Copies of this chain bind each other. A is one copy, B any other.
Amino acid sequence: MRTDLERFFNPSAIAVIGASQDLATISGQPLKFLKSHGYKGKLYPVNPRYPEVMGYQCYPSLAELPEAPDLALILVNASRVADVLRQCGAKGVPYVIIFSSGFSEMGGEGVKLQEELIAIASEHDIGVVGPNCQGMMNLADSVYAGFGSVFNSAYEPGPVSMVSQSGGFGFSVMSLSSTDGGLPFRQVVTTGNEIGVSTLDFIDYFIRDPRTEIVVGYIEGLKDARRLLEVGEKALAAKKPILMWKVGNTELGQQAARSHTANLGGAMALYKAAFKQAGILQVEDIQDVVDYGRAFRCGRLPRGNRLAIITITGGGGILMTDECIARGMEIPRLAPQTVEKLRGFVPSFGSLLNPVDVTAAIFNNTELINQTLQAIIDDPSVDCVAMINASLQGELAALVATQIVAVAKNTDKPILLAWSARDVVAQEAYGMLDAARIPHYKSPVRCGRALAALSWYAEALRRNGRTRAEAPLTLSSSTARRAVASATGDVSEYSAKRILAAYGIPVTREEPATSREQALAAARRIGYPVALKVQSPDIPHKTEARAVRLGIASDAELAAGYDEVIANARAYKASARLEGVLVQEMAGEGVEASLGAVNDPLFGPAVMFGLGGIFAEVLKDVSFRLAPLTPSSARGMIEEIKGYPVLAGARGRAPADVDALADALVRLSAAAVDLEDCFAELDVNPLFVFEKGRGVKAADALIKPKTRDEVTQ
């Protein structure tokens, strides 16, 4: 794949294939906009019907152009795109944008047409953007190569680069975001059906682009989703935050419903897990893009998550406290020396607790802001500061802004403001803040969300540093790989546990037996009490068939139990192939956990964790991570579920062995990586987690190998 996307965004010549003289139509707009926004390179309309378009010489075919342009815009009917693409290949065009619709989004014939395009692009090494997209804007260099209402206006360029799978909506986000002192963009590209250059290719380029500081993505789904971790890590290393807007949860959730475990969270759970692991911030509306982007533009990150709030209105302070605490920030007590300082000037009916309420007394004495802010900035227990100025406006607002700017100059702690005055009545104040890159928001809720985003990202950077220091566990078992690869159907309990044991996951002691005598001998070796379970590929639900006996305590009970479970199994299903019984140690008392791994078609191996039974299956209280896991990410996924207190020792229980549980998760993830070519699903359910220091033990397991189709995919 071509990666010299600088040429794509800043081409020295552009061909517009299918350019129309009707400038209102889709095929008329790109040339019009390129010209009206002052594109500096050469423009070559191509259309056999016209001698010229908009004053440019028009060529009957691409072959007749005097040079190979860096970029061709393809605006012809879907049925003719393949031909045109071949001509681009022959001419040596490195990049094309296919605007035309009528491909895979249409199904049927469209899918075939699209496959043809992929083949042609591959043959000629053409970097294809689209089809079914609305083009690209390089605002910094005035390249407006697309169509749509948004292209009518020019936008102030800035340091934000965005890739969007949706054309219409993507440009709307850019347009609204850059309005009214919002977030200025550098380049925006829409990728549509994305048969060539992908969202992650563009993000990867933005990370390398020296003039991009913040990356925004709008996606419906990623064909190369498993690259998310790698791209995320590059972005963290470059300290360029990625704001990701993922939509289409409901549909994708259904798509991925085929495997039982992934079904618990749907594919969205894997996206969320990947974003979290990769330090990619999720956004949920246009306002988030603007608000978070503005926060990052201040160029400061908090050292920790401790926030101090200063407010002139108690209401705003409470609101921000709610918002920030809900998003994992801390609102600490201020240091005693800070409180002492504040006592000198905050009115007695104000509050010296955090939030510090200086009250409307600000109207009688604006010095209050300056003094309070400085005292709090100096407090070593504070990592960042929010100030809430309600609707202060006019001269008073300008006075206050001057003081804030002065204090901000002498600290590297982020200061964010919630300031609700309308733009028209606080222009001077807002202008000063903008010049000093001090982010301000119209509501405490939005300010709180932006602060929490900064704090989350700073923590992701710190966490990434720690995780990189951990050596990833790599395990390999050729025996296990052979066993899974050669399986013709589900690998059931006994064999599945042998395979898991090969990766060091503790399993119950057990032996298969095909006669009463063998079972007796096995039970004596294992030691009473034991469990007996009928083994049959035809009886998946052994309990339902009453083909399980637990807590067998003696030879006599065992003999009777053997006869009973065999008889029950026969009665349940006369045709069942019986392979004898499994004699198993009783696992003992522990918390039941459910561990799983899926081999997701998009993400590759991923690990799931939850408590057993209802907790995972009904309440969906589960967590996901892409494999491989480090010990600290395994801890993270254990602590993330709501039921975690059960393991930590809720309701008078002794704390469970969470270290051993984390180790089992790490080993399961390593197994999933080792078995990637051949497994579809690994299930360990239940895994008993014993008291701290006593380990874990898998009591049942199931491995689904890849079906032949999946293997050859």
Which residues of A are at the interface with B, using a C-beta cutoff of 8 A? 24-26, 29, 78, 101-103, 105-106, 110, 132, 134, 147-150, 152-153, 164-173, 175-176, 179, 218, 220, 247-251, 284-287, 312-316, 318-319, 321-322, 325, 347-349, 359-360, 363-364, 388, 390-394, 396-397, 420-422, 425, 442-446, 544, 613-615, 617-621, 642-643, 645-646, 650-652
A646 neighbours in B (Cβ, 8 Å) = 614, 618
B166→A315 contact, CB < 8 A: yes
CB distance from A550 to the nearest CB of B (A): 17
8 A-B pairs with the lowest CB-CB distances in the bound complex, closest first = A166-B315, A168-B313, A169-B315, A172-B420, A168-B390, A149-B393, A101-B349, A285-B445
CB distance from A219 to the nearest CB of B (A): 10
Name 30 A/B residue pairs within 8 A (Cβ), A-sorted: A25-B364, A101-B349, A106-B348, A110-B349, A134-B360, A147-B360, A147-B363, A148-B390, A149-B392, A149-B396, A167-B360, A168-B360, A169-B313, A169-B314, A169-B315, A169-B319, A169-B444, A170-B315, A172-B421, A176-B442, A220-B314, A251-B318, A284-B445, A287-B287, A614-B650, A617-B650, A618-B645, A618-B646, A618-B650, A619-B621
CA gap between A617 and B646 in the complex, in Å: 10
CA gap between A615 and B106 in the complex, in Å: 47
B318→A285 contact, CB < 8 A: no
CA gap between A397 and B149 in the complex, in Å: 9
Q: Nearest chain-B residue to A288 (Cβ)? A: B445
Contact of A315 among B168, B285, B618, B643 (CB under 8 A): B168
CA gap between A285 and B287 in the complex, in Å: 12
B175→A420 contact, CB < 8 A: yes
B618→A619 contact, CB < 8 A: no
Taking A169-B388, A220-B318 as known contacts, 11 extra A-B pairs with beta carbons closer than 8 A to each other, sorted by chain A number, are: A132-B349, A165-B315, A172-B316, A172-B390, A218-B315, A247-B322, A248-B318, A286-B443, A615-B619, A617-B651, A619-B619
Contact of A393 among B152, B248, B392, B421 (CB under 8 A): B152
CB distance from A220 to the nearest CB of B (A): 6
A105 neighbours in B (Cβ, 8 Å) = 314, 349
CA gap between A457 and B249 in the complex, in Å: 26
Contact of A422 among B168, B175, B347, B348 (CB under 8 A): B175
CB distance from A147 to the nearest CB of B (A): 7
CB distance from A201 to the nearest CB of B (A): 19
CA gap between A78 and B348 in the complex, in Å: 12
A312 neighbours in B (Cβ, 8 Å) = 168
A150 neighbours in B (Cβ, 8 Å) = 391, 393
CA gap between A247 and B26 in the complex, in Å: 49
A446 neighbours in B (Cβ, 8 Å) = 285
A168 neighbours in B (Cβ, 8 Å) = 312-316, 360, 390-391
B420→A651 contact, CB < 8 A: no
Contact of A176 among B149, B420, B615 (CB under 8 A): B420
Most chain B beta carbons < 10 A, residue from A150, A397, A444:
A150
Q: Nearest chain-B residue to A103 (Cβ)? A: B349
CB distance from A100 to the nearest CB of B (A): 9
A443 neighbours in B (Cβ, 8 Å) = 176, 285-287
Q: Given A314-B166, A316-B166, verify A149-B322 contact (CB < 8 Å).
A: no
CA gap between A101 and B351 in the complex, in Å: 12
A313→B167 contact, CB < 8 A: yes
Most chain B beta carbons < 10 A, residue from A25, A348, A544:
A348
CB distance from A290 to the nearest CB of B (A): 11
CB distance from A354 to the nearest CB of B (A): 12
CA gap between A250 and B422 in the complex, in Å: 29
B313→A250 contact, CB < 8 A: no
A360 neighbours in B (Cβ, 8 Å) = 26, 101, 134, 147-148, 167-168
Q: Nearest chain-B residue to A347 (Cβ)? A: B101
B322→A249 contact, CB < 8 A: yes
CA gap between A364 and B24 in the complex, in Å: 8
CB distance from A244 to the nearest CB of B (A): 14
CA gap between A443 and B285 in the complex, in Å: 7
B420→A349 contact, CB < 8 A: no
A170 neighbours in B (Cβ, 8 Å) = 315
B247→A363 contact, CB < 8 A: no
A442→B247 contact, CB < 8 A: no
Q: Given A106-B348, A349-B105, verify A220-B315 contact (CB < 8 Å).
A: yes
A315 neighbours in B (Cβ, 8 Å) = 164-170, 218, 220, 247
Q: Nearest chain-B residue to A644 (Cβ)? A: B618
CA gap between A646 and B171 in the complex, in Å: 46
A364 neighbours in B (Cβ, 8 Å) = 25-26
CB distance from A645 to the nearest CB of B (A): 5
A651 neighbours in B (Cβ, 8 Å) = 613-614, 617-618
Q: Given A315-B247, A325-B250, A614-B650, verify A425-B25 contact (CB < 8 Å).
A: no
A29 neighbours in B (Cβ, 8 Å) = 363
CA gap between A613 and B29 in the complex, in Å: 65
Q: Nearest chain-B residue to A285 (Cβ)? A: B445
CB distance from A213 to the nearest CB of B (A): 24
